[in-house]
Structure 1
């Protein structure tokens, strides 16, 4: 299995002949609106896609969406939807998102899986894991989406955490299923009011300790409400004696 970090939460996962694009945000730098009202109102994304993205995208066979409604353009933006629509890439998603994506002309393949029972996925199986995308008032306003636990023949098991804090559901997934590779959001995103809406440094390190397996941190240095820097996160992991992979945009990891 290979994982290529493109930008933010956008990655390509390679399982044998399948290359799965996850949560495509493909807009040019600065093409999307700010996510904070006060302070430096930076437009998003903060950076361009890496040079390797163009060639990497050409071989994509499927797309997988964790969440996309209520303005979550950092997981599916107009450029991403246009790219998928023009190429008629099969888009795998939860039943909750199926109609929303179909209305945008995408070739939707809803999953027959849930938090309790896995379903079929490209010759393997997949189950959804509940996300907690913020708590309190901000949590009530968010689209929480799901993470995915993917098990493919001859490949390491993979947990794509999606946009979530380190909740009990996330802990239970790690304890019960022991995923061999996990991809977790590490940007510590927050709006002008309320607390974090995804994991920050402390929760990522706690997740890595709980996992004891390969953990990949992303959702970094691409969106204006994510303050965590790669260098800061890597230094914190090293100081805590925690193994953590923090790929640069365009980097490919092999497992």
Structure 2
């Protein structure tokens, strides 16, 4: 299994004989307006793609945790081939159909795709009323013969849903969306370093990868801050915080 972080939540996963593009945000740097009511006013994305656009066409399918613009932007909708299989949460099916994608597979619970099983999990994109305003988000458990069990948590904080997913599926590897994304009011809407540490403590033998960092203006926690927090807790050997363009093999 190989995971290549492109930028933010955009990754390319090689798993079960498939190459899967996850949460594609393909706009050039500074092409999108900043997130409103957030701690800084820089245009998004904050950094350029570390690869050429052509790399995104050499994939077998697309997996979306949700369709907020930092996970599926207008550029991805424009550039990706409309015949490519797209797997998503049920709430996003109509939007993708309206954009012209011909093979959209909403996952209510789980789906089998040519030997690869994808199971949807839930999360909370923030707390209280803020989470309701942010709308539904999903994570996914991926499993295939001779592969480790993999958990993409999606845009969620530590919550009961994450705790339940870890208990039920016992993943070998978890990919967490960090950055402590937030607005001027309300708490974080993605994982903080403290949330990452709670995930690590839940399954001590699990490997963890933290993405969703330093690429969108409402993400305030840096790679260095997360690494320091992990080091303080003695967790550096089981957690990876990759740079953009970095390939991890497990």
Coarse TM-score class (shorter-chain normalised): over 0.9
Structure 2 distance, partners of 1:139, 1:98, is 21
- For 1:1-16, list aligned pairs within 5 A: 1-16=1-16
Moved more, 130-139 or 72-81: 130-139
Q: Does 1:251 align with 2:246?
A: yes
Aligned to 1:129: 121
d(CA) in 2 for partners of 1:112, 1:163: 17
Q: Map of 1:175-186 to 2, 5 A cutoff?
A: 175-186=167-178
Moved over 3 A (4+): 36-40, 52-56
Q: TM-score w.r.t. structure 1 length?
A: 0.92
User: Contact between 2:82 and 2:100, CA under 8 Å: does it hold in 1?
Assistant: no
Aligned CA RMSD, in angstroms, stands at: 1.6
**Counterpart for residue 215 of structure 2:** 222
Q: Counterparts of 1:205 and 1:214 in 2: how far apart (Å)?
A: 12
Question: What is the CA distance between 1:122 and its match in structure 2?
Answer: 3.4
Which piece of structure 1 moves more, 184-193 or 121-130? Answer: 121-130
User: Are the counterparts in 2 of residues 13 and 21 from structure 1 also a CA contact under 8 Å?
Assistant: yes
Could you list the runs of 5+ residues in structure 2 that have no partner in the other structure? none
Preserved contact between residue 87 and residue 106 of structure 2 (Cα < 8 Å) = yes
Gaps (5+ residues) in structure 1?
none
Contact 2:11–2:21, Cα closer than 8 Å, also in 1: yes
Please report how far the alpha carbon of residue 39 of structure 1 lies from its aligned counterpart in structure 2 after TM superposition.
Answer: 5.4
Specify whether residues 130 and 38 from structure 1 end up closer, same or farther in structure 2 by C-alpha distance, changes over 3 A only: closer
Q: Distance in 2 between matches of 1:211 and 1:198?
A: 20
Equivalent-residue separation in structure 1 for 2:100 and 2:140 (angstroms): 24
2:84 match: 89
Instruction: Name the CA shift for 1:141/1:125 in 2 (closer, same or farther; >3 Å).
Output: same
Aligned-partner Cα distance in 2 for 1:80–1:219: 17
1-side partners of 2:38 and 2:231: how far apart? Answer: 33
Separation in 1, partners of 2:169, 2:39: 42
Partner of residue 119, structure 1: 111
Distance in 2 of aligned mates of 1:7 and 1:122: 28
Q: Which residue of 2 aligns with 1:31?
A: 31
> Which residue number in structure 2 is paired with residue 159 of structure 1?
151
Matched, 1:66 2:62: no
What's the counterpart of residue 165 of structure 2? 173
Matches of 1:246 and 1:122 in 2, distance apart?
31
